[in-house]
Structure 1
């Protein structure tokens, strides 16, 4: 559509031409990366150097090839000519996009990466602090654009230096744009308080208490992309892990990092990270609560260290015609000394062996003999030494230890004395013990116990940084599993205490952060929502007083949106009518019901001729979602079916209902036959 403003049309024409230039430059970058792979393979270098160089070049080429197609810039900065305010950027202009684009590595960039230091002014500059910016330009692109220049449909200039805080129609329309399919990045719409969190220091862990619609998940993902850009060597050396609550959620967020130019980042769940065995068993809630309790860590530690014995006799090791001897009191001192150091169990076992061998080495040196490496290895592998170590510090398999505790009431009682009550011990004992641990049907909670024991035996490899979403639902034992993998890294913890739905969900952040090993992490609240309309937020806030969490009420900057409540005597029929009404609007429709009612709801919609999918089909026009899987998802239009049934379906049902109500980003219909629980 042609604008009646000739100046605007001329600006749009120039920017479209510039975008074509950028597209050609990006194509040349991709071709150049492919060429470098070929050249790099012919480079004469040592095998190790050639392998490292080849891997790096192939990775760069792969990342460029896999970039999703889309607009190459979304904003532009024009700095004023006052060097005092603009510094080295005085008089310069920069297009801002999702990755750096240049015609030559040494040439000034055509597009500056949104994570570059200069780009921060795009998000932070305002009337109160212009940061040297004269004009901030925002570009409007057609929805779903694949990056064709003709899709550039509009632009807005915000004259920051005038002291007036402008309202951006493009910014608002981008935030409120209907969505179908996976989560989009928010690089074009990051707000100042979000930007502060995104660009936080790598060495500092942070906890974001985010109300619905405040963009906490997007903040965590953009922080991951920022850290990969800013600290590529440190992060890639240790690795970066995104932890989500379930695989549906991971599918929903899976396209955000690739859209920001970051591929190959591991995205997983806690269950997947600790999955030593498939989950084939199931606990009742009482057993699961005990197994996830932090006290189990001490029970398991006691059970593990109960395997350590005290030497009963001296040690003699034949060496040719001579026998090296280690007195009983020395052996006991060695074991007691290692125990006092509290190393990982496997490390302690090797320390005992090493110190016994060292004692014999000192004897040899006093006799004037040279203890060569070959001699030390021979003594270390000698059968009497191995037998002694096995006797006082035996090898332990996590599965054997946990299976023994869960099948042997006496072994459990000994390890849990003074920690777990008799009824708690009875709750976690297997009703039908397996023949051996190899035939055990491990539950999800059992895998947490196995990981704890494995971590006591030997520390797992850690990550440089972890982003943990929906963290309020983590149990203390799950937090400990994460802490072991973040011992030398930092965390971005994302969550909302009001949305805690597990039996062990946190009611305050301090204790949970302690279990994560980051008790000093700052807790930063995000209370201003950009995605959920005010009417929906106000309805959800009516539940907060009943949720037993210290969370400030959410706020919303959006005065649009619709909330309609439909009392009815026929819930299924009213749900069909509500969905038909929703389909007259753009965007996705999520029909959310109590887990036990979801199948009936989907059948009713199918009988009415409305095609539906499950929550895993992210591009579906209409998705029927069990309330238990709704967390983290968003739909333009939500039909909440019988809130009272959602609230009564589980112990923390009101928290689940709070989640359900806040999945709507434009319109919410509440269909009910029973009294509403607020």
Structure 2
């Protein structure tokens, strides 16, 4: 069968392998049809049909579906925005048409459909549906492919002999380079209920297929527990604790695609955003949503949201700035800029003079202070003062209207008074004063911070002004908090946050503000927390996000990382996350792990890379951040093409050299880890970083070292 391997033998530990039936037995024959040497004409029929006829007909259906998709795209391209009335409407309509055309793009190396359901016909829906990445219909509006997100498609992922969901038979298709090469039938009717299905070979082969380039979608291999998360309701915030290789990132991306399909109108207005740990990660996942027809989803990092500042900072200082206790400190620091009015307001209009006494000004300021955001409060103060002047005008028999009040609010005396008692400030100005003025910091901190902590926060050598200050990543989150206190942050309909365990409380608050009227999908692994402020529980993460009723679910079964590799990495768990159960892998992966001690690391490295190059798939060489330059030099000296990954780069070569700090979220078929002891020594949570690094391999892991391995791995 082209492009497919036979599945490995099934052991008792493999009961939950993908495609297995709920009874976890594998002695029932699964009807696997292979590509015969010659294929004759036919139509898809019952399981007794000739395999050659079935395969021929399915290929014909694929060709017809592709032709129909081209026709749909050509029709979309033929539409014109000129019919819209004005220029602005034309631009908006043209943008929507462009999105529609982009969403209908065909990818010739990607299967247009990957499954089929033969149904009982107990409802008005078609008896046979093909499940694929997007909806396709012919010129008579007859559906040829049903979107995997449609309600009827749920049975493709959830149906089983004990609960067939109105399905008689599920068919999976094997593809190679976009060409249909095989199919496999699973009977789900009453007759097949007495025996369990053999594992799906096509499904297993697709999960284990070597990966090169960006991350692929997993619509053909979504498992039932993953599907439940993907289809969770929009109103529910879902937090996913996922061990390495469990597909948590893919689940989050597919949930975004599902919500956009199910709540298109609402989310097209409010927006969906993907937040990743770095730009290299975003580059890696960038093709997933477009492949699913979703081309208008913003993808960014936390730095991209709150401000891309990266001045060096001591970890202890960054951890303190990221503490949730900074929130009330910042609030007080902002409102402390308001001073007590010492004089009243005098307005002259013609020969008349109108006065608002100082005590009345104080009352107006007190009524506004703390009850609104700083910016709107400043604007409201101008209107309140103007209204007080209008009252005095009316008391003298005048009849002022709203235009008069607006004129008074914009008058020079009102502006001068407001600038004195309620000055215009920026987040940078407030934070600069807080970090450079010890007395001001102490007054704002009150009992929330100790004197030692205030001393830690204060700049040793403050910049001359806030304009010349060098801000850190932790400062960016504080300025975002202040910006929201000044003016309300716009919110989105849904936010997907990956590697959330590494975010500080203040960074989480920044993300929570962006979905305060929406929902979130929070993804991560507590065992992979590598920052000084890494979360210890998901309830803590949800608290800082401002979510009171989020659902926490766990994915513990890995589909990507071989069991031998995962078991080796899990030796670190008692040290980095003692409360988590060790993850399980569904792939035995015998021979996937190689520990190589060598006196000549460069020679051992080049030998390992050449060995991996003889096999299919991508190759990642991971080393401590300070060692990547020497690793790249060793590969270059031996004439091995490679990329040296940085936060802003996208790899082009098959071999990538990756700093350990950028490895999180990435996967490679073959991984070579250079000198684990150096990775551990490079940072305080070095063992957690090493756990991340050791779990990036999909097919094989080589651990190359001259120094002793950490004792936890011995």
Give TM-score scaled by structure 2 length: 0.89
Query: For 2:297 and 2:477, how far apart are their aligned partners in 1?
Result: 24
Deviation of 1:381 after TM superposition, in Å, equals: 1.1
Is the contact made by 1:406 and 1:429 (CA closer than 8 Å) also made in structure 2? yes
CA-based RMSD: 2.0
Q: CA-to-partner distance for each residue in 1:137-184, whole Å, 9 max, x for gaps?
A: 111110xx2x4xxx2111111112212334111100000000111000
The 2-side partners of 1:297 and 1:419 are apart by 10
Give the secondary structure class of the aligned counterpart of 2:113: coil
Deviation at 1:630, TM superposition (A): 0.6
The residue number in structure 1 matching 2:16 is none
Q: CA deviation at 1:449?
A: 2.0
- In structure 2, the gaps of 5 or more residues are 3-34, 40-49
CA distance, structure 2, for counterparts of residue 545 and residue 338 of structure 1: 53
Aligned to 2:19: none
Q: Give the Å deviation of 1:92.
A: 0.7
CA contact (8 A) 1:464 1:488 kept: yes
Q: 1:433 aligns with which of 462, 479, 484?
A: 462
How far residue 69 of structure 1 moved from its aligned partner, in angstroms, is 5.6
Greater displacement, 495-504 / 159-168: 159-168
How far apart in 2 are the matches of 1:211 and 1:408?
45
1:253 is displaced (CA, Å) by 0.2
Counterpart in 2 of 1:92?
127
Q: Offset at 1:419?
A: 2.8
Which has the larger displacement, 178-187 or 329-338?
A: 329-338
The CA deviation at 1:619 is 4.5
> Within 5 A, what are the aligned runs for 1:277-288?
279=309, 281-288=311-318
Look up the match of 2:689. 656
From 266, 275, 278, the counterpart of 1:234: 266
**1:134 and 2:174 correspond:** no
Query: How far is the alpha carbon of 1:215 from its aligned partner?
Result: 0.3
Partner SS state of residue 653, structure 2: coil
1:215 aligns with 2:247: yes
Deviations 1:502-525 (A, max 9, x none): 111111111221111113211111
User: Aligned match of 2:289 in 257, 266, 271?
Assistant: 257
Match of residue 70 from structure 2 = 27
- Deviation of the 1:415 alpha carbon: 2.0
In the TM superposition, residue 23 of structure 1 has moved relative to its aligned partner by 1.3
Partner of 2:14: none
**Aligned counterparts, 1:381-400, within 5 A:** 381-400=410-429
Q: In the superposition, relative to structure 1, how do residues 296 and 536 fare at CA in structure 2: closer, same or farther (>3 Å)?
A: same
- Partner of 2:521 in structure 1? 492
Residue 667 of structure 1: aligned partner: 700
Partner residue of 1:120? Answer: 154
Higher mean alpha-carbon deviation, 507-516 vs 48-57, is at 48-57
Of residues 616, 625, 639, the one that matches 1:595 is 625
Instruction: Verify: 1:630 aligned to 2:663, yes or no.
Output: yes
Give how far 1:368 is off.
Answer: 5.0
Per the TM alignment, residue 628 of structure 1 is displaced from its structure 2 partner at its CA by 0.9
The reply on whether 1:564 has 2:594 as its aligned counterpart is yes
Contact 1:508-1:549 at 8 Å conserved across structures: no
Query: Contact 1:291–1:428 at 8 Å: present in 2 too?
Result: yes
Following TM superposition, by how much is the alpha carbon of 1:219 offset from its aligned partner in structure 2, in angstroms?
Answer: 0.4
In structure 2, how many angstroms separate the alpha carbons of the residues matched to 1:169 and 1:465? 36
Counterpart in the other structure of 1:61: 101
**How has the CA–CA distance of structure 1 residues 617 and 49 changed in structure 2, closer, same or farther, with 3 Å as cutoff?**
closer
Hey, what does 1:16 align to over in structure 2?
Answer: 59
**1:359 aligned partner:** 388
**Match in the other structure for 1:75:** 115
Q: Secondary structure at the match of 2:144?
A: coil
Partner Cα separation in structure 2 for residue 285 and residue 228 of structure 1: 39
TM-score (norm 1): 0.93
Gaps of 5+ in 1: none
C-alpha distance in 1, partners of 2:394/2:155? Answer: 68
Whether contact under 8 Å (1:208, 1:524) holds in the other structure is yes
CA distance in 1, matches of 2:101, 2:182: 33
Aligned partners of 2:365 and 2:198: how far apart in 1?
Answer: 71
Please state if 1:504 is matched with 2:561. no
**CA pair 49-596 structure 1, distance change in 2 beyond 3 A:** closer
| Gap change, CA 1:655 and 1:280, over 3 Å in 2 | closer
Greater Cα offset, 378-387 or 601-610? 601-610
Q: Distance in 1 between matches of 2:481 and 2:93?
A: 39
Deviation at 1:303, TM superposition (A): 1.3
Aligned residue number for residue 108 of structure 1: 142
Q: Do the aligned residues in 2 keep the contact of 1:68 with 1:259 (CA within 8 Å)?
A: no
The aligned counterpart of 1:193 is: 225
Residues 267 and 493, structure 2, Cα contact 8 Å, conserved in 1 = yes
1:280 and 1:94, CA in 2 relative to 1: closer, same or farther beyond 3 A? Answer: closer
Contact 2:99-2:296 within 8 A present in 1 as well: no
Query: Conserved in 2, the CA contact under 8 Å of 1:617 and 1:623?
Result: no
Deviation at 1:408, TM superposition (A): 2.3
Cα deviation, residue 286, structure 1: 2.4
Conserved 8 A contact 2:386-2:405: yes
Please report how far the alpha carbon of residue 47 of structure 1 lies from its aligned counterpart in structure 2 after TM superposition.
Answer: 5.6
C-alpha distance in structure 1 between counterparts of 2:225 and 2:210, whole Å: 24
Distance 1:267 1:497, change over 3 A: same
Deviation at 1:238, TM superposition (A): 1.1
- Name the residue aligned to 2:28: none
SS in structure 2 of the partner of residue 111 of structure 1: strand
Cα shift at 1:5:
9.7
Secondary structure (helix, strand or coil) at the match of 1:519 reads coil
Identify the residue that residue 373 of structure 1 maps to in structure 2: 402
Which moved further from structure 2: 447-456 or 110-119? 447-456
Q: CA deviation at 1:50?
A: 4.6
Cα displacement (A) at 1:429: 2.6
Partner of 1:402: 431
2:207 aligns to what? Answer: 175
Q: Are the structure 2 counterparts of residues 287 and 11 from structure 1 closer, same or farther at C-alpha, using a change threshold of 3 Å? A: same
Farther-moved stretch of structure 1 (620-629 vs 605-614): 605-614
2:345 corresponds, among 315, 318, 326, to 315
CA change 1:44–1:416 in 2 (3 A) is closer
**Residues 154 and 65 (structure 1), Cα distance of their counterparts in 2 relative to 1, 3 Å cut:** closer
Please give the alpha-carbon distance, in whole angstroms, between the structure 1 residues aligned to 2:442 and 2:143: 68
